[in-house]
Amino acid sequence: MKFSLSQYLNNDIAIDLGTANTLVYMKNRDVILDEPSVVAVRKSDQNIVAFGKAAKEMVGRTPGEIITIRPLKDGVIADFDLSEQMIRYFIRKAVPSRIPRPRIAICVPTGITEVEKRAVRDAAEHAGAREVYLVDEPMAAAIGLGLPINQPVGSMIIDIGGGTTEIAVIAMYGIVNSISIRVGGDEMNEAIEQYFKKTFNLLIGDNTSELIKCELGSASPHEIKGSMVVKGRDLIAGIPKTVTITGKQVQEALAETVTQIADSLKMCLEMTPPELSSDILDRGILMTGGGSLLKGLDERLRQETNLPVIVAEEPLLAVVRGTGKVLEDLNRYRKVLTRIKKY
């Protein structure tokens, strides 16, 4: 990886510290790291054996001695030490260690508490940041997509991540109204796992439920297609078993989570002032985050709201790119930074 002199001197980085994936962005280099937020730890001495992609490959396949941990849950830090070490590792991997301590911008869910905000800031500082700036996720997504957040025009974002769904109406550098629910792709995986337990008495792992969701999962009757042979462990006999699941069954498993997301979107629309509602009617709602890739979810939300709903281009990259843009032009974007209250 080659770095120019100006990059050595201006080494600001943006991080999307997500429940499912962590992304790192650097000016002029775009997204330079994109890895699962997973850490593998040896139980006996608590030593870390792998981070990111290498750790995710171990999920559900490790000998009893090694466990895989996701240090974030529902969009916020659940394990402080592991989060800090994971951030440190990703920074080192993305940028050479010889450069000065970077300034770091990190995005956070809108529903985050002050304590949770402080945890993110402290983890980034401990991981080597010279200064830390926090940005709300939906604001970052809107900036990343180049929406006119500086104008008196309403833009609406729904970011469906692994742990949270963030819905916000944005105008004049501010979030006018927002809803953040701790429901997202993880909940969909869990719903599929529960369905297998109830319907087939079959235990399946996290990576399997995720694969089923991405391959067969859908939220609209027009998208129900195909079937898949799935291997797991029989809950009663305790031995490996194979079953076939159909697209219709996966849709059934996901129905409740999808309804929760649709209801929250409608609730957020109800809170929106009428002038801004009419902007959204013209301009539509933009979907970001990995959950927006669930087949037919855009169509379902369109049906429920009677509004245009569009999946953004490269929906998993919008948040980190927007966070990066904030840091590149702090004078312009200072207003969008999330403050941490002093005690």
Ligand X SMILES: Nc1ncnc2c1ncn2[C@@H]1O[C@H](COP(=O)(O)OP(=O)(O)OP(=O)(O)O)[C@@H](O)[C@H]1O
Q: How far is CA 255 from each of CA 217, 258, 288, rounded to the nearest angstrom?
A: 10, 5, 20
> Which does residue 21 touch among ligand X, Mg ion, none (CB within 5 to 8 A, set by kind)?
ligand X
Kindly indicate which of the ranges 241-249, 250-258, 284-292, 326-334 contains the residues binding ligand X, using the contact rule CB under 6 A.
284-292
- CA dist 35 and 41 (Å) reads 17
Q: Which of 296, 317, 298, 316 is nearest to 307 (CA)?
A: 298
Q: Does 294 bind ligand X (CB under 6 A)?
A: yes
Residue 209 CB, shortest distance to ligand X, in Å, is 9
Nearer to Mg ion among residue 184 and residue 247 (C-beta): 184
Kindly indicate which of the ranges 16-24, 87-95, 128-136, 275-283 contains the residues binding ligand X, using the contact rule CB under 6 A.
16-24
Q: Does 293 bind ligand X (CB under 6 A)?
A: yes
> Which does residue 316 touch among Mg ion, ligand X, none (CB within 5 to 8 A, set by kind)?
ligand X
Residue 293 CB, shortest distance to ligand X, in Å, is 3
Residue 276 CB, shortest distance to Mg ion, in Å, is 24
Kindly indicate which of the ranges 2-10, 87-95, 285-293, 333-341 contains the residues binding ligand X, using the contact rule CB under 6 A.
285-293
Nearer to Mg ion among residue 18 and residue 102 (C-beta): 18
User: Considering only residues 102, 111, 184, 232, which one is a binding residue for ligand X as defined by CB under 6 A?
Assistant: 184
What 22-26 contacts at long range (C-beta under 8 Å, 24+ apart), as own/partner pairs, is: 22/52, 22/86, 22/87, 22/90, 23/316, 23/317, 23/319, 23/320, 24/90, 24/91, 24/94, 24/95, 24/320, 25/320, 25/321, 25/323, 25/324, 26/94, 26/95, 26/324
DSSP 183-214: -SHHHHHHHHHHHHHHHH-EE--HHHHHHHHH
Q: Does 213 bind ligand X (CB under 6 A)?
A: yes
CB-based contact 213:250 (threshold 8 Å): yes
The residue ranges that bind Mg ion (CB under 5 A) are 18, 161
What is the DSSP-derived secondary structure letter of residue 141? H
Q: Does 321 bind ligand X (CB under 6 A)?
A: no
Q: What distance lies between CA 96 and its chain's CA centroid?
A: 26
Residue 36 CB, shortest distance to Mg ion, in Å, is 13
Q: Does 186 bind ligand X (CB under 6 A)?
A: yes
Nearer to ligand X among residue 139 and residue 276 (C-beta): 139
> Which does residue 293 touch among ligand X, Mg ion, none (CB within 5 to 8 A, set by kind)?
ligand X
CB-based contact 93:85 (threshold 8 Å): no
253 SS3 class:
helix
Which residues, in sequence order, are bridge partners of residue 244? 229
270 SS3 class:
helix
The first and second tokens of residue 216, run together, are 């067969």
What string marks each residue from 137 to 176 as x (binds ligand X by CB under 6 A) or -?
Answer: ------------------------xxxx------------
- CA dist 138 and 213 (Å) reads 24
- Residue ranges in contact with ligand X by CB under 6 A: 16, 18-21, 75, 161-164, 184-186, 210, 213-214, 217, 289-291, 293-294, 316
